[in-house]
Amino acid sequence: MEDTIFDKILRNEIPSEKVYEDDDVLAFKDINPKAPVHVLVIPKRKRQRFSEYRNVESDEAGIFMKKISSVAHSLGLDESGYRVIFNCGPHGGQEVEYIHAHILGGKKLIWSAG
Ligand code: AMP
């Protein structure tokens, strides 16, 4: 499996602005934020693409969803709302081949599906 920039962040080989970490996930600020709050959440158990999640145990996918929701809560976004995005593959605009959820918030977001 290709070593990505997110593998290196997870191994602390390159710096990141961490906002949350536990045994299951790491959340850190996007280096090129598209909104006032732009945080990426990755599972410590590596998957490359969202499309792989059809084959994983429900617990693995469910825990990841719960953690994404908890990170958004800890960022204070519950009341104002936010967007969660998984880009998947070339047509989805995925640049880093390590599954990650984008949490975007802090302003009223424009909806543009591409
Ligand atoms: P995607 O296009 O869904 O693969 O998103 C990849 C995201 O990773 C982009 O929003 C980038 O700005 C972000 N990114 C790339 N390198 C870093 C880094 N070193 N630290 C934080 N975010 C990064």
Atom 18 in ligand 1: residue holding the nearest Cα: 31
* Ligand 1 atom closest to the CA of 9, numbered from 1: 19
Pick the CATH number of 5-105 from 3.30.428.10, 3.50.50.60, 3.40.190.80, 3.80.10.10: 3.30.428.10
Q: How confident is the model at residue 113 (pLDDT cuts 50, 70, 90)?
A: confident
61-71 b/e with 16+ CB inside 10 Å = b? bebbeebbeeb
How many Å from the N-terminal Cα to the C-terminal Cα in the chain?
29
The residues spanned by each domain of the chain are: 5-105
Tens digits of per-residue pLDDT, 48-100?
Answer: 999 999 999 989 999 999 999 999 999 999 999 999 999 999 999 999 999 99
* Catalytic residue check, 102: no
Q: What is the pLDDT of residues 84-95, one digit of tens each?
A: 999 999 999 999
Residue 96 CB less than 6 A away from ligand 1: yes
CB distance 103 to 68 below 8 Å: yes
Ligand 1 center to residue 48 CA distance, Å? 14
96 CB contacts (<8 Å, ≥6 apart)? Answer: 4, 5, 6
